[in-house]
Amino acid sequence: MNLEPVEFLKNALMIPSPSGNERAVAEYLVEGMEQMGLDAWVDEADNARAEFGEGPLQIALLGHIDTFPGEVPVRIEDDSLYGRGAVDAKGSFVSFIFAVASLLPEVGERMTIHLVGATEEEALSSKGARYAAPQIQPDFVIIGEPSGWDGITLGYKGRLLIKARREKDQFHSAHHEPNAAEELISYYNSIKAWSEAMNVGMRPFDQVQYTLRDFRVMPDGMKQVAELLFDLRLPTRLPPEEAIRHLLNYAPPTLNLDFSGREVPYLGPKDTHVTRALRIAIRQTGGSPVFKLKTGTSDMNVLAPHWQVPMVAYGPGDSTLDHTPHEHIKISDYLKAIEVLRIALSRLALG
């Protein structure tokens, strides 16, 4: 096994790991972490786990090792490493591994670092993060997600998935009455109008985003059946339960609504021990730190209610490449992120 950072990440990208099928890449990562001298194992959720140090300060570094579906041929072109997961988010977790493996022994005397390569982040289950949540009681948390090597992500929007269904008796198309599909379209348009009214004067992170995911009409003999699936990305002022209250108010009693994927929005403070350590480390590595807010969701949303401690997301890569056929990470940025993390973790431990 090649333990050089670029080759190690490249080999990890060559192991397919869509949500629910992460075992092979977890075993690869664990083997590498063991060779780097870390106490490593694959847990019951197929997370790639490791620990470093025995000190009292508890640090959780959690990034996901599953990927969005679709294949991006793994290759290196100039300063770019292509592959599904290069940005989202194997690149972030592997940068955690190399940063921790490079720490001096005295860091381990003052802190214990818990590495978690989490499974099923790209699925609604967030299986890996939910499994790890009760097992670790961290003082500080860094979530492995692309922020750019000089960026620090403070928050993610929440999420809510809505499936609307309408069944009604069949009638002739010449009859002057909205059919099942038209009733769902009318409901969706009312939610769009509500969202847009909520968004007036708001910055993107504070807006309610809506996305139509699926729409289908399913004739069923004597019945009309139509289903519509859409999601909302929620700002901190609108937690899922409050959004559900509005969605129910706009729905006629003839519609059946099902809610899933409830994730609470999260926004952390700018000035904590973690943000200060990362800002200093970014400057020492030659960058100018930038705070970011994300309109998507991550395992930060899942873990924030459990780990109510200073938490940020950090990792190399451009998040606009997430899920795209052009996903790639700049090798120079990936190596800088490893150095930033090494400096930041050392500073947290040694002051």
Angstrom distance (rounded) from CA 321 to CA 257? 33
Instruction: Determine which one of 22, 66, 299, 327 is catalytic.
Output: 66
Q: Would you call 167 a catalytic residue per the annotation?
A: no
66 is catalytic: yes
The bridge status of strand 290-294 relative to strand 151-156 is parallel
Q: Per residue in 119-150, is it b (16+ CB within 10 Å) or e — as a string?
A: bbbbeebbbbbbbbbeebebbbbbbbbbbbbb
Please tell me what DSSP assigns to residue 39.
Answer: E
To the nearest 10°, the Cα dihedral for 47, 53, 55, 58?
A: -20
The per-residue DSSP string of 259-313 comes to EEEEE--EE--S-SHHHHHHHHHHHHTT---EEEEESS--HHHHHTTT--S-EEE
Through-space distance between the first and last CA atoms of the chain, rounded to whole angstroms: 35
Q: Are 257 and 248 in contact (CB under 8 A)?
A: yes
Check 22, 121, 183, 299 and give the catalytic one: 121
Residue 185's Cβ-side half-sphere holds a number of Cα atoms within 13 Å equal to 7
Active site residue ranges: 66, 121
